Each structure stands twice: as structure tokens, then as C-alpha cells.
Structure 1
């Protein structure tokens, strides 16, 4: 069993903001596979499907970003998932827009959603798909930036990155995370 978690904030106000790229990748995976987030439990919306004999769960926590662990932790307990069975997709200010980086462990890097997950799981050892959103180029707070929408000029890189992150997630349906990480981490 594998669980892919896209981080974001629920509600129309936050749809398509930089902080919601995790949700955007989950939405792409749903569209590609003809699935929908039909289950509402564990403070989240999720779907459970079978892909080539492997149970796949896609989860969008509905707790708001800073409390993401309050959704993922109970889901993992219920399904008896181990941290290595989970991949979390989230925005990363330290990567430029258009870059994806995968890793198997690490700190929170100041990301409150990841901090919440680490706190609830009691470990830093879980798979991550970091989705670059870059840093603001004009004077503005980080909060305003991550809760802002992408510009028209950013859309082509955004769309390409969503596709790439979804490709990597789908590859993990079939391959070990280490192999997917080696294949999909962008070197440039």
C-alpha cells in the first residue's frame, strides 16, 4: 500500500495559490486515472484505488497546511502504513519554479506542513516530492507570496512541473522510491 499526500489549504480562496501545488498534483493524478476524492475521513479527502495489485491512496488534508499531520497521522494509523509507504508533495521556496526534487528524509526546512507531519509521525524519514515555487522577486512577505496565485508568465513552468511531479508519483506506483528519485531528480 502506498499513500501520496498533496499538501495545501482547503477552500476556493486558496485554490491555485503557490502553497497549494500539492493539491494541484493530486488533482492531475485524479484526472489522469479517472478517480475522485470520494472519501471524507481523517480530516481529509481521499481515494483508495488498486493499480496493478498495489493499493494506492491519494490524500488532500483538509486541516489547513499547518496541521497537515492531523490528517495524515490518523490515516496512516488506520491503514497501518509505515513512513516509507508515504510520499508528501509540497511547495518549496528554496527551489526555483519548474524544479522538482525528491528525497527520502530530511527536516522541515521552515515548512509548517512538513513540521506538522514530522511531529505527528515522530520521524523525518518519509518520502517527499518538493515542488519549486521560487522566492518573491519583489518586496513582499513570504506569507503573501505563498498564498498568492501564479502569474500568467509562470503558468507554462507551473503546468510542466505539475505534469512532471505527477509522472514521478505514478512511477512510484510501480517502482521503489529510490529508483524513481534517481530517475526524476532534475540535475540542472
Structure 2
């Protein structure tokens, strides 16, 4: 079984914000496979899909971004999923808007959601799909990540969400993560 976790903040107030692109990706995957987030477990909403004959948990933590690990760690334990079978999808201010970058491991890089996941899974060695949201030019980081995309930016982000989903599907089809990185980075 694989677990794909999109990071974000729960609630209408945060829908379609820059910080919620992780949610957007797992929601698009759920749409592609016609499944709903109809289970709650370990402070997360879960949809179960079969992708390339692989059982996949699509996860949206309900803990808010900065405590995402509080859901991820217990879910891995509960479902007996190895960290090698985990992908975290999240926003990245250091990437150009609409770009994606896959990583096999690494530090939190200042991202509090990733910092929380590292603390709760006890390793930095988990796969990530980062979605670029640009760095703020004339507003605070907090206001930036909680802001919504302009009409022009929405088209770029739609493409980024599509690419992120395609990358996850490519990996789930049996390709190594290194090959997936080479294809999508």
C-alpha cells in the first residue's frame, strides 16, 4: 500500500490558497479515480483508490499545516506503511510559480509542515513533490502563503497540479522514484 499526503489547511477559509496546493493535488488524484475523502482516521481525511493495481491512500491532514506530522506518523503506523511508500506533496516558495520538483529526501527547508512530518516519522528520507508558489515580493510570508492565486496564476497552477498528479501516477506504475525525478524535474 502507498500513501500520498497533500499538505494544507482545512476549512473554507483556506481553500485555493498557495499553502493548499498539496490538497489540490490529492483532490485531483481523487477526481481522476472517482473516489471521495469519506473516511476520517488519525486526524486526517482519507480517500482510497486503486492506481496501477496498487492500493493508495490519498490523505489530507486535518491538523492544519504546521502539525501535519501529527496525522502522517500515526497513519503510517496504523496502516503499517513503510516510509519508502510515502509521498508528501507541498508548496515551495523557493520554486518558480507552477514548477514542480521531486526530491527523495532532505531537510524541511523552512517549511513548518515538512518540519512536523520529519519530527513524527523520525526521518528526512521520504519522497516529496514540491509545487512552486514563488516568494513574496511585497507582503509577509504568512499573508503570501494564505493568499489566493490571481486569474493568470490559476492557469499555471492548474498545469502544475496536473504535472504533480502525472508524476505520482508514473511512480505508482512501477517506475523508480529516481526515474520519476528524471522525467518530471
TM surpasses 0.5: yes
The count of aligned residue pairs is: 184
1:161 corresponds to: 160
Q: Which residue of 1 aligns with 2:13?
A: 13
Kindly indicate whether the alpha-carbon contact (under 8 Å) linking 2:35 and 2:48 is maintained by their aligned counterparts in 1. no
Deviation of the 1:178 alpha carbon: 1.7
TM-score using structure 2 length: 0.97
Aligned partner of residue 102 in structure 1, secondary structure: strand
Q: Work out the CA distance in 1 between the residues paired with 2:102 and 2:52.
A: 23
Any stretches of 5+ residues in structure 1 without a counterpart? none
What 5-or-longer segments of structure 2 have no aligned partner? none
State the Cα deviation string for residues 129-184 of structure 1 (Å, max 9, x = none).
010000123x2100000000001121111111111111111112112222111111
Contact 2:90–2:131, Cα closer than 8 Å, also in 1: yes
Matched residues in 1 for 2:52 and 2:87: separation?
19
1:84 aligns with 2:80: no
Deviation, structure 1 residue 48: 2.1
SS for the counterpart of 1:154 is helix
What is the match of residue 118 of structure 1?
Answer: 118
3-state SS in 1 of match to 2:152: coil
Q: Deviations over 1:104-151 (max 9, x none)?
A: 0000000000000000011000000010000123x2100000000001
The TM-score with structure 1 as length reference comes to 0.95
Confirm or deny: 8 A CA contact 2:16 2:148 kept in the other structure. yes
Shift of 1:82: 1.5
Task: Please give the alpha-carbon distance, in whole angstroms, between the structure 2 residues aligned to 1:176 and 1:49.
Answer: 20
Computed over aligned residues only, the root mean square deviation of the Cα atoms, in angstroms, reads 0.9
In the alignment, the residues of structure 1 paired with residue 49 and residue 15 of structure 2 have an alpha-carbon distance, to the nearest angstrom, of 25
